[in-house]
Structure 1
Amino acid sequence: MRKITYAKAVIEALMEEMAQNEDVIYLGEDMTFGGCLSKMPELQKTYGRERVIDTPISEHGFTNLGLGAAMAGLRPVIELQFADFAALTFDPIVNIAAKERFMSGGRVKTPAVIRTAQGVGIQCGSNHSQIVESWFMNVPGIKIAVPSTPYDIKGLMKTAIRDDDPILFLEHRLSYYTVKGEVPEEEYRIPFGQANVARVGTDVTIVAWQKTYHDSMAAAEELASEHGINVEIIDPRTLVPFDKETVLQSVRKTGRAIVAHEAPLRGGPGGEISAIITEKAFDFLKAPVIRVGGENVPIPFGKIEFEIVPDKEKIKKAVLELVKKEIKETV
């Protein structure tokens, strides 16, 4: 199996889906140059300006355009250059796309993918580096994908484009050209709501995705070699729908759980996941669930951005504190 980048994997998914279905269109800014995300000028060169549409700099406007096209029978992929700009699209996504199927009694579908990049990594400051998953998790009717690996981003994107519901497809900008992985050349898709047990362990369960997934994998290797702690890592792949059972099975085995995410700790996904674990697996817990998240401050400009989000060392510290806390309480 060949190894390709995170960016290459999602480009392949888009190219293949557009080849297979003429109803798939793409909207975004600067598409003549390949867009802002994974730089794919071949998309417009291959499928033309009628299907790969350069839009004005108006996220609210072209998101409404794309959602209208979806309701009319097309399958648009709508690119927002930065996830922060999703704040400009709250009304069409939250009040139209998420509710139309319900309000129409199932007669009107909105099969649209809103694709954007989130997170730290390119030092763009408070308005261009935010994690936005928490903003939308409270909205019924939207599915949320958070792929961590090249394999997952391709398989999830192909699933998203074929789904009849609106999808918020959140990629991580730090991963585009720094993360490589094995991706099959043959056709495959990954179902939403199916988590990946990325590393099997017996002592602690870590639920993590995107940047914190890679940090957790690195931390797990060092914890094993330095302290003999065997960590199991669950990558949920999608936050909505969320694969509760895979997480609960792991926690019932290990008895300890950490949820690590880049979003601010306050109001972040970790609170919801911790509640699920506490409500459904309380009798199996040997220690309280620990959350590791971003600081509750705006993201600073420059390299200091890495100081306010979780990293390998912060995750290692949380694991050691969890094990230590259990031993202390037992004694």
Structure 2
Amino acid sequence: MAKMNLLQAINSALDLAMAKNDKVSIFGEDVGHFGGVFRATSGLQEKYGRDRCFNTPLVEQGIIGFANGLAAQGSFPVAEIQFGDYIFPAFDQIVNETAKFRYRSGNEFNVGGLTIRTPYGGGIHGGHYHSQSPEAYFAHTPGLKIVIPRNPYEAKGLLLSSIFDPNPVLFLEPKRMYRAAVGEVPEEEYTIPLGKADVMKEGSDITLVGWGAQMEIIEKAAELAEKDGVSCEIIDLRSILPWDKDTVAESVRKTGRLVISQEAPHTNAFGSEVAATVQEMAFLYLESPIMRVSGLDTPYPLAHEKEYMADHLKTYEAIKRSLNY
């Protein structure tokens, strides 16, 4: 075991994957000698050479188009999009090519070896072009997997699973946690199954669900609620495509209440899907309406970031509203 922050855990996963299989390559804007804007790929070009870790032009559609072609030939490309906010020029490639490659070829070809890494989310005073949470746009796309880790241990295990999963994976990294989250991480290879939620804490009064950086906020809200005598069950979805609806529904059948806390704007965020599915699966067990805590339906503000964020106090207020309904 070693102390790692989230960036170091990601770097360790990439290093192990490249050592394990010489068909794993990493590319994106400034990922080579510079190590990327956050230094997630530091040292990998020196260790594995320019053929396997290299810079690309500043063209996201080209990065994913190239990655699709490489994956179609049996390689395991790990394509980095520098910020989640800049993934949209590649939206057509991801949604119409990556996700549909296997289906439209009748399984004759696939790009299952492709992993797309990108940092997402706010909390770093990045303004409206460096703070967005775009997961819901892609969750509407059959053929993709979407994975979002909450801490260094989860990041390494989930990334290793993603790289060698037989399906294309969009791996969203909470940039606010890159250096803020530190924990014990095995130095050797290990994997965490995709599509399986983690019940971080068991409780009896209310279920709290989230993913990525929001899990830290949910834990803080739960600490406040527990001072009021409220027993909170906390679930990290880990993957939102596919998402572990059975674990969430089972929890809600036990607690009778659900709060979903997410960073993205409120309307059509992925929490809406969770809420709709849970009421289908556990309607008669609900003691109060499902609560959603979200960002605001505005562009991400720089000056008013604190007011915009779905913080622990807003989540705590939602817990109280659910219990007092």
> What residue in structure 2 maps to residue 185 of structure 1?
187
In structure 2, the residue corresponding to 1:107 is in which secondary structure?
coil
1:292-331 CA-to-partner distances (Å, cap 9, x unmatched) read 11100001124x2232120010000000111011xxxxxx
- 1:38 Cα shift? 4.0
Q: Which amino acid aligns with 2:6?
A: Y
**8 Å Cα contact 1:7/1:38 also seen in 2:** yes
| Separation in 1, partners of 2:324, 2:8 | 42
Aligned to 2:323: 323
Range moving further from structure 2, 35-44 or 12-21: 35-44
Q: TM-score, normalised by structure 2?
A: 0.97
Q: Are the counterparts in 2 of residues 33 and 39 from structure 1 also a CA contact under 8 Å?
A: no
Deviation at 1:269, TM superposition (A): 0.6
Instruction: Write out per-residue CA displacement over residues 81-140 of structure 1, whole angstroms, 9 at most, x where no aligned residue.
Output: 100111110111111110010011111110211100011122221122110001111111
Q: With structure 1 as the length reference, what TM-score do the two structures score?
A: 0.95
Q: Tell whether the 8 Å contact from 2:206 to 2:233 is kept in structure 1 after alignment.
A: yes
Greater share of helix: 1
Q: Where does the alignment leave 5 or more consecutive residues of structure 1 unmatched? A: 326-331
Query: d(CA) in 2 for partners of 1:78 and 1:37?
Result: 15
Partner Cα separation in structure 2 for residue 186 and residue 229 of structure 1 = 39
Which residue does 1:18 correspond to in 2? Answer: 18
The alignment partner of 1:49 has SS state of coil
Q: What's the CA shift string for 1:215-236, capped at 9, x where partnerless?
A: 11011112112x1011111001
Aligned with residue 208 of structure 1, among 210, 221, 226:
210
Q: Which residue number in structure 2 is paired with residue 159 of structure 1?
A: 161
2 CA distance for matches of 1:192 and 1:38? Answer: 25
Distance in 2 (alpha carbons) for counterparts of 1:165 and 1:37: 26
Question: Which residue is equivalent to 2:131?
Answer: 129
Measured after TM superposition, the shift of residue 193 of structure 1 is 0.9
Tell me what 2:229 maps to.
Answer: 228
- Which moves more between the two structures, 17-26 or 160-169? 160-169
Aligned partner letter, 2:13: A
Give the 3-state SS of the residue equivalent to 2:11 in structure 1. helix
SS in 1 for 2:51: helix
Equivalent position SS for 2:294: strand
Structure 1 residue 4 displacement after superposition: 1.8
* Alpha-carbon distance, 1:41 to partner: 2.2
The 2-side partners of 1:54 and 1:38 are apart by 13
CA distance in 2, matches of 1:187, 1:210: 22
Task: Supply the AA of the counterpart residue of 1:19.
Answer: A
CA distance in 2, matches of 1:263, 1:24: 32
Given the alignment of the two structures, is residue 72 of structure 1 paired with residue 93 of structure 2, yes or no?
no
Q: Hey, what's the Cα distance between the residues in 1 that align with 2:170 and 2:155?
A: 13
The CA deviation at 1:187 is 2.6
Instruction: Give the whole-Å Cα distance in 2 for the aligned partners of 1:208 and 1:3.
Output: 25
Q: Percent identity?
A: 41
The 5 Å alignment of 1:274-289 reads: 274-289=275-290
Equivalent residues in 2 for 1:76-95, closer than 5 Å: 76-95=77-96
CA contact (8 A) 1:143 1:167 kept: yes
